[in-house]
Amino acid sequence: MVENRPFLNFLTHLVLILGVLTVVFPVYLAFIASTHGPTDFMSGIVPLLPGDQFSANYGYLLGTGESTAGAPPFLLMLGNSLAMAIMIAVGKIAISIISAFAIVYFRFPLRVPAFWLIFMTLMLPVEVRILPTYKVVADLGMLNSYSGLVIPVIASATATFLFRQFFLTVPEEMMEAARVDGAGPMKFFRDILLPLSRTNIAALFIIMFIYGWNQYLWPMLITTEPQYYTVVMGIKRLASVLDGDNQWNLVMAGVILAGLPPVLVIIFMQRLFVKGLVETEK
Amino acid sequence: MQTKRTVFHSRVLPYFLLAPQLIITLIFFVWPAAQAIWQSFLRQDPFGLKATFVWFANYTRLLDDPDYLNALGATFVFSVGVTVLSMGLSLLFAVCVNRVLRSGRFYTTLLVWPYAVAPAAAGLLWWFMFNPSVGIIPYLLSFLGYEWNHRLHTGDAMVLIIIAAAWKQISYNFLFFVAGLQSVPQSLTEAAAIDGAGPFKRFWTVVFPLLSPTTFFLAVINITYAMFDTFGIVDATTSGGPSQSTNILVYKVYADGFIGLNLGPSAAQSVILMLIVVVLTVVQFRWIERKVQY
Residue B126: which CATH number? 1.10.3720.10
Q: Rounded to whole angstroms, how far apart are CA atoms B89 and B222? A: 13
Contacts of B235 in chain A (CB under 8 A): 216-217, 236
Query: B100-121, pLDDT tens digit by residue?
Result: 877 888 888 889 899 999 999 9
Checking if the pLDDT of A101 tops 60, the result is yes
Q: How far is B89 from chain A (nearest CA, A)?
A: 8
Across A180-184, A237-241, A266-270, B42-46, least confident range? B42-46
Checking if the pLDDT of A15 tops 50, the result is yes
Is the CB of B279 inside 8 Å of chain A's CB atoms? no
- What's the average model confidence in pLDDT over B271-290? 80
pLDDT band with cut points at 50, 70 and 90 for residue A2: low
Consecutive H or E run containing A211: helix A198-213
Residue B12 lies in a domain: no
Residue in A196, A269, A229 with CA at minimum distance from that of residue A67: A229
Q: What is the pLDDT of residue B47?
A: 64
DSSP states along A91-148: HHHHHHHHHHHHHHHB--TTHHHHHHHHHHGGG--GGGGHHHHHHHHHHTT-TTSHHH
Q: What is the pLDDT of residue B293?
A: 45
Q: What is the pLDDT of residue A55?
A: 81
Which chain A residue's Cα is nearest to B262?
A131
Residue of B17, B262, B273 to mutate when probing chain A, most A C-beta within 10 A: B17
Q: How far is B283 from chain A (nearest CA, A)?
A: 12
Contacts of B37 in chain A (CB under 8 A): none
Query: B129-142, pLDDT tens digit by residue?
Result: 888 888 888 888 88
B121 vs A221, A235, A266: nearest CB? A235
Q: How far is B173 from chain A (nearest CA, A)?
A: 11
| Complex ipTM | 0.89
Which chain B residue's Cα is nearest to A40?
B134
- What's the average model confidence in pLDDT over A173-181? 88
Checking if the pLDDT of B122 tops 60, the result is yes
Specify the 3-state DSSP secondary structure of B8. strand
Contacts of A128 in chain B (CB under 8 A): 228, 250, 253, 270, 273-274, 277
Is the CB of B84 inside 8 Å of chain A's CB atoms? no
Sketch the domain layout of chain A as residue ranges: 6-280
Across B35-39, B49-53, B63-67, least confident range? B49-53
Residue of B2, B8, B22 to mutate when probing chain A, most A C-beta within 10 A: B8
Q: What is the pLDDT of residue B123?
A: 92
- What's the average model confidence in pLDDT over A220-227? 86
Q: What is the pLDDT of residue B294?
A: 43
Q: What is the pLDDT of residue A44?
A: 65
- What's the average model confidence in pLDDT over A251-267? 91
- What's the average model confidence in pLDDT over A221-245? 83
- What's the average model confidence in pLDDT over A107-128? 84
Q: Rounded to whole angstroms, how far apart are CA atoms A176 and A2? A: 50
Residue B140 lies in a domain: yes
Across A244-253, B160-169, B216-225, B242-251, least confident range? A244-253
- What's the average model confidence in pLDDT over A147-176? 89
Q: What is the pLDDT of residue A6?
A: 81
**Is there a contact between B4 and A120 if contact means CB atoms under 8 Å apart?**
no
Q: What is the pLDDT of residue B288?
A: 60
pTM (2 d.p.): 0.90
A259 vs B7, B101, B118: nearest CB? B118
- What's the average model confidence in pLDDT over A39-56? 75
Question: Which domain, by its residues, includes B138?
Answer: 66-290
Contacts of B89 in chain A (CB under 8 A): 19
Is the CB of B149 inside 8 Å of chain A's CB atoms? no
Higher pLDDT, B82 or B292: B82
pLDDT band with cut points at 50, 70 and 90 for residue B289: low
Checking if the pLDDT of A157 tops 80, the result is yes
Query: B146-185, pLDDT tens digit by residue?
Result: 888 888 888 899 999 999 999 999 999 999 999 899 888 8
**Is there a contact between A16 and B4 if contact means CB atoms under 8 Å apart?**
no
CA–CA distances in Å: residue B94 to residues A14, B110, B168: 14, 13, 16
Residue B57 lies in a domain: no
Q: How far is A120 from chain B (nearest CA, A)?
A: 8
Residue in B93, B57, B9, B53 with CA at minimum distance from that of residue A22: B93
Q: What is the average pLDDT score of chain A?
A: 86
Checking if the pLDDT of A189 tops 80, the result is yes
Architecture of domain A6-280: Orthogonal Bundle (1.10)
CA angle A92, A276, A133 (to 5 degrees): 35
Residues B44, B267 contacting (CB under 8 angstroms): no
Q: Specify burial of residue B14 (Cβ count, 10 A radius: 0-12, 13-18, 19+).
A: buried
Residues B244, B71 contacting (CB under 8 angstroms): yes
pLDDT band with cut points at 50, 70 and 90 for residue B53: confident
**Is there a contact between A277 and B115 if contact means CB atoms under 8 Å apart?**
yes
Question: Which one-letter DSSP state was computed for residue A44?
Answer: S
Q: What is the pLDDT of residue B100?
A: 83
CA–CA distances in Å: residue A68 to residues A109, B95, B96, B265: 57, 49, 49, 35
Across A30-44, A139-153, A213-227, B189-203, least confident range? A30-44
- What's the average model confidence in pLDDT over B45-62? 75
Indicate the number of domains in chain B.
1
Contacts of B96 in chain A (CB under 8 A): 12-13, 15-16, 19
Q: How far is B80 from chain A (nearest CA, A)?
A: 20
- Which residues are within 8 A (CB) of A98 and not within 5 positions of it... i.e. 6 or more apart? A189, B17, B18, B20, B21
**Is there a contact between A128 and B129 if contact means CB atoms under 8 Å apart?**
no
- Which residues are within 8 A (CB) of A28 and not within 5 positions of it... i.e. 6 or more apart? none
